[in-house]
Every structure is written in structure tokens, then in C-alpha cells.
């Protein structure tokens, strides 16, 4: 058996499955036996027993209730101006609406063209109309967009310093204080940063500020509820790249036309062996903007 | 002297989850009972530690995983001291039990926090946010830890497979 990214969750699930269905009587019987032995232990040596007091002071409970009530007031205030979101249900996005996730909850949103947008906790975005389609304005936090191949209209994700134009693809956009990050899980995106524009393909990522650190794409998306699916997609992407360009050789490349080690605004982690092929494509294909 | 009612209440509330946790790692009911007994005997004789008061479920769950991992490591030491006793059949059949044995061995090599997360996720089917609550950390930290643990676990299982 091979323990790939794909098979390990399945092995873990299968391996633990038979313990999940342990008969209740068997478990209860075992616990009763242990409890009986503990009782005997107390009978045998009562002096060795330290009395316990379970901590459930009512004062602490009231304080927690007061904090929860205060939090609820704040949440209600937010929900009154923003649609409610939750990961268990997919929320249909509406043009002109803003969406915000809380400190410990993500959300899954959908667009009319079946694109899915997974929001990380503590993220803020709005859906706006663009000249030729729709635009997700991400002001804070992270999203993973899963967009089918587009038949009509464009879809963009815009942060404060860059715009990502989407074709059929799965990718992450992260809006941080220091700048923005785009990481492609599957397919391609076109990223515009000021006057510069570059294509980014699967497994590659880009940051708009060279001081931003980068981890592998798999780690950048670890917060997703669909991490297993995305790891699968990344693995398929890696295979595709390796078939085309040979073994993966991801390196840091400062912006394409700047050459190496020039501190230009975009920093790209890309497959070095594929770079020349892509550059040639870029030269022959005029910009669509 | 009877067992204190608070103590019995505590035992009844958590014992089944702890037993299932220990059983899933040890694949042996008697050993799982020993783990359960050890956890509560310690509380009986030593009182409730500060960690327990902050997060009883998290404390007890951690204790169950850590004691189970100790038992797996002890078994392994015994196995290497007396290899004949645990001889593996030459025609090894890849069964679920066999895979689980290897998985348990690999989990014992992982750091305990990673094993705690994996068992909560794959045995008890908790969501990342619930795991974060039980272990007293953030959902993001759990997701990151889970990703790294699976990667490490994969390496460990491959190594164990090659060794056998």
C-alpha cells in the first residue's frame, strides 16, 4: 500500500472506522469494570484518596454568560448589515453585498456561475460589478476560489494592490497588511499589479511585497475545510507540470522581466524549468486587457 | 468509604470517550481499561491538577492519548528485546488490522500533540474548530498541525513498511 497525500486520510478513516462502531455495551462494560476497580481501591486504602471539587463556580459561569451576551450583541450588529455565513451551508452571493467571517468560523459562498468561494475566518469581502463581469473585493483575510471555465463574463478578485483575473481554476488570494498573496492550486490565473501583469500557473505563488514570507502552497491552504480535495488537486497539478517540464524545481523568481535578485514589487515562486516556456508564450500572446 | 459522587460524575461523563481513544490506539480492550484506570487513579490519589481545572475534557483526552502511546512504545521495546515472541508470519497479508498496527506504531513516533489531533479528527470525527476547543488552541493552528502531521505520518508509515 502506498501512503500518498490522497490515500492517507482514507487509511486513517478506514483504520479508525472499526473503533467508531465498538458496541455500546462493550464500552459500557469496560468502563463499569474500571469504575468497580476504582471503588475497590478507595475501600482498600481510603487514606490515599484526595477529595476533589469540580470547578463550576456560578460566579465564573455568570461572567462567561455576560461575555457571551456582549459578544452576541456585537455579532447581531454585524449580521444586521451583512448576510449570515457559515461553513455548513453554502450562501449565494449577491451583487453589492458584503460578507465577513468571525474569529473562529469560515464560510462557503457561491456565485451564479457555480463558482465557489471559501472564506477563511476573519475575512472581509464584497461582491461588485466590474465592466465585463463580477469582482470580489477582498479587503482582509483569505479566500480559495474554485471557478469553472468561464463561458461569459469575467470574474476577478481584487485586493488593495493587485487584481487576479480568473479562468477555470482553483486558487488562493490572501490580503494581508503588508501586501497580497496569490497561490494557484489548479489551472492558471492572470495577475495584474500596477502596470505589470503575469500569468501564474498551478503550484506557483506570488506576493506583492518581497518582505512577505512564503510557505509551500499546501501549507498556505491548510485552513481550508476542503484541504483533502485541494491536496489532491495539487498533487495532480504537480504531475502535470512534471510531465511537461520534468521534476519539479520550484525557485524564487523576482518579477519575470526583472531577472533574478532585483527587488521589484512582485515575488514569484515558480517552476524554474517551465519559466522559459511560459515567457515565450507571454511574448507571443498579446495582453487581453 | 464510597467513591466521591463528584468523582463518579466525572468518570461517567468522560470514560467512554477515553476508553474508545485508548482502544483505537492499542487495539486491545484490556490495555485500554488499564489506561482508563491509570488516568482516574492518578486523579484519585493526586487530586485535580491546574490544567484539569482549566479544561477537563482536554486534560483527560491528552492523558488517554499519552498513556496509550507510552504503552505502544513499551510493547515495541519488549518486542525488540524478545523478537521471537512477536514473530510476524512470513506471508504477510495486508489486512486492516495490520495497517492499523503500523499506523499505531507510526503515531507513537509522532509528537503526542499531533497524535491527539489525528485521533480526534479520524476516530471521533470532530471538526477542526471543535478540536481547537478541546485542545485549547486556534482552528488555524489545528489545520496547520494536521497538514504537517499527515505528511510526517506518511513518511513514518513508508519507513515502517520498508523495514518490514
The residue ranking higher by pLDDT, B89 or A36, is A36
Mean pLDDT to the nearest integer, B144-148 = 88
Q: Quick check: B139 and A1 CB within 8 A? A: no
Query: Which pLDDT tens digit goes with each residue over B46-75?
Result: 877 877 878 889 999 999 999 999 999 888
Mutation target for A interface from B4, B11, B138: give the one with most A CBs within 10 A: B4
pLDDT at A62: 55
CA–CA separation, B40 and B11 (whole Å): 8
Q: How many CB pairs under 8 A join A and B?
A: 145
Residue A220 confidence (pLDDT) above 90: no
% of chain B residues with pLDDT over 90: 32
pLDDT at B3: 74
Minimal CA separation from B100 to chain A, in Å: 5
Candidates A12, A54, A219; nearest CB to B6? A54
pLDDT at A289: 38
Q: How many CB atoms lie within 10 A of CB B99?
A: 18
Task: Decide if B147 touches A, using CB distance below 8 A.
Answer: yes
Q: Quick check: B144 and A43 CB within 8 A? A: no
Q: Quick check: B2 and A26 CB within 8 A? A: no
Q: What ipTM was predicted for this assembly?
A: 0.85
Residue B19 confidence (pLDDT) above 80: yes
CA–CA separation, A104 and A125 (whole Å): 17
Residue A67 confidence (pLDDT) above 70: no
Angle at Cα A118 formed by Cα A113 and Cα A119, nearest 5°?
Answer: 130
CA–CA separation, B27 and B95 (whole Å): 14
Task: Tell me what the pLDDT averaged over chain A comes to.
Answer: 75
Minimal CA separation from B63 to chain A, in Å: 16
Task: Decide if A8 touches B, using CB distance below 8 A.
Answer: yes
The residue ranking higher by pLDDT, B112 or B5, is B112
Residue B117 confidence (pLDDT) above 90: yes
Among positive and negative, which fits the CA dihedral B24, A7, A231, A153? Answer: negative
**Chain B residues inside the 8 Å CB shell of A50:** 44-47
Mean pLDDT to the nearest integer, A51-59 = 58
B148's grid cell: 504537517
* Distance between start and end Cα atoms, chain A: 49
Mutation target for B interface from A1, A2, A3, A43: give the one with most B CBs within 10 A: A3
Query: Which pLDDT tens digit goes with each residue over A229-283?
Result: 888 888 888 777 777 776 655 555 544 444 443 344 566 766 666 665 655 555 4
- B127 phi, psi to nearest 5 deg: -80, 160
Q: What is the pTM of this model?
A: 0.56
Q: Which residues, at least 6 apart from B99, have a Cβ–Cβ distance to it below 8 Å? A: A1, A11, A14, A15
Q: What's the pLDDT band for A11 if we cut at 50, 70, 90?
A: confident
**Chain A residues inside the 8 Å CB shell of B140:** 121, 222-223
- The 8-class DSSP code of residue A115 comes to -
Residue ranges with strand state E in chain A: 90-92, 98-100, 107-110, 116-119, 124-130, 133-147, 154-158, 163-166, 169-175, 180-186, 188-193, 196-201, 205-207, 250-254, 267-271
Minimal CA separation from A284 to chain B, in Å: 40
Residue A84 confidence (pLDDT) above 60: no
Candidates A38, A51, A224; nearest CB to B40? A38
Residues 29-68 of B with CB under 8 A from A: 29, 32-33, 36-37, 40-41, 43-48, 53
Minimal CA separation from B80 to chain A, in Å: 25
Task: Tell me what the pLDDT averaged over chain B comes to.
Answer: 84
CA–CA separation, A152 and A138 (whole Å): 22
The residue ranking higher by pLDDT, B20 or B97, is B20
Residue B82 confidence (pLDDT) above 60: yes
pLDDT at B92: 42
pLDDT at B33: 95
Cβ contacts of A83-92, under 8 Å, gap ≥ 24:
A85/A109, A85/A119, A87/A225, A90/A116
pLDDT at A86: 40
Query: Which pLDDT tens digit goes with each residue over A108-164?
Result: 899 888 889 999 888 999 999 988 889 999 999 999 999 887 666 789 999 999 999
Residue A72 confidence (pLDDT) above 70: no
Minimal CA separation from B89 to chain A, in Å: 18
Task: Decide if A33 touches B, using CB distance below 8 A.
Answer: yes
- The 8-class DSSP code of residue A86 comes to B
pLDDT at B29: 93
Residue B93 confidence (pLDDT) above 60: no
- B57 phi, psi to nearest 5 deg: -65, -45
CA–CA separation, B137 and A16 (whole Å): 24
Q: What's the pLDDT band for A54 if we cut at 50, 70, 90?
A: low
% of chain A residues with pLDDT over 90: 16
Amino acid at each position: 500500500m502506498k501512503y500518498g497525500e490522497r490515500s492517507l486520510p482514507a487509511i486513517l478513516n478506514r483504520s479508525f472506522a472499526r473503533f467508531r462502531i465498538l458496541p455500546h455495551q462493550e464500552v459500557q462494560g469496560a468502563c463499569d469494570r474500571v469504575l468497580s476497580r476504582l471503588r475497590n481501591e478507595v475501600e482498600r486504602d481510603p487514606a490515599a484518596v484526595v477529595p476533589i471539587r469540580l470547578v463550576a463556580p456560578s460566579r465564573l459561569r455568570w461572567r462567561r454568560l455576560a461575555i457571551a451576551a456582549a459578544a452576541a450583541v456585537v455579532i447581531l450588529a454585524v449580521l444586521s448589515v451583512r448576510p449570515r455565513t457559515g461553513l455548513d451551508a453554502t450562501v449565494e452571493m449577491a451583487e453589492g453585498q458584503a460578507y465577513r467571517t468571525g474569529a473562529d468560523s469560515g464560510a462557503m459562498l457561491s456565485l451564479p456561475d457555480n463558482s465557489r468561494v471559501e472564506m477563511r475566518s476573519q475575512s472581509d469581502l464584497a461582491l461588485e460589478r466590474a465592466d465585463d463581469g463580477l469582482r470580489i473585493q477582498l479587503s482582509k483575510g483569505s479566500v480559495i476560489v474554485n471557478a469553472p471555465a468561464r463561458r461569459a463574463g469575467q470574474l476577478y478578485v481584487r485586493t488593495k494592490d493587485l487584481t487576479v483575473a480568473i479562468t477555470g481554476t482553483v486558487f488562493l488570494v490572501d490580503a494581508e497588511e503588508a501586501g497580497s498573496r496569490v497561490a494557484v492550486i489548479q489551472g492558471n490565473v492572470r495577475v495584474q499589479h500596477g502596470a505589470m501583469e503575469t500569468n501564474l500557473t498551478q503550484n506557483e505563488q506570488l506576493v506583492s511585497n518581497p518582505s512577505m514570507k512564503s510557505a509551500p502552497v499546501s501549507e498556505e491552504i491548510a485552513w481550508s475545510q476542503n484541504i483533502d480535495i485541494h491536496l489532491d488537486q495539487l498533487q495532480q497539478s504537480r504531475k502535470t507540470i512534471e510531465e511537461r517540464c520534468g521534476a519539479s524545481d520550484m525557485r524564487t523568481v523576482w518579477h519575470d522581466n526583472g531577472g533574478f535578485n532585483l527587488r521589484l514589487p512582485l515575488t514569484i515562486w515558480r517552476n524554474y524549468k517551465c519559466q522559459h516556456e511560459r515567457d515565450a508564450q507571454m511574448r507571443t500572446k498579446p495582453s487581453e486587457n | 468509604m464510597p467513591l466521591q459522587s463528584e468523582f463518579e460524575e466525572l468518570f461517567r461523563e468522560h470514560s467512554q470517550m477515553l476508553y474508545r481513544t485508548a482502544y483505537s490506539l492499542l487495539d486491545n480492550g484490556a490495555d485500554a481499561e488499564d489506561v482508563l484506570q491509570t488516568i482516574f487513579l492518578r486523579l484519585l490519589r493526586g487530586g485535580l491538577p491546574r490544567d484539569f481545572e482549566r479544561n477537563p475534557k482536554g486534560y483527560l483526552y491528552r492523558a488517554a492519548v499519552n498513556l496509550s502511546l507510552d504503552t505502544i512504545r513499551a510493547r515495541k521495546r519488549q518486542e525488540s528485546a524478545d523478537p521471537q515472541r512477536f514473530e510476524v508470519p512470513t506471508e504477510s497479508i495486508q489486512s486492516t488490522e495490520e495497517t492499523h498496527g503500523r499506523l499505531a506504531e507510526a503515531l507513537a513516533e509522532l509528537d503526542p500533540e499531533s497524535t491527539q489531533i489525528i485521533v480526534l479528527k479520524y476516530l471521533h470525527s470532530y471538526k477542526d474548530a471543535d478540536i481547537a476547543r478541546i485542545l485549547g488552541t486556534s482552528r488555524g493552528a489545528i489545520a496547520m498541525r494536521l497538514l504537517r502531521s499527515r505528511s510526517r505520518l506518511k513518511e513514518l508509515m513508508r519507513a515502517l513498511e520498508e523495514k518490514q
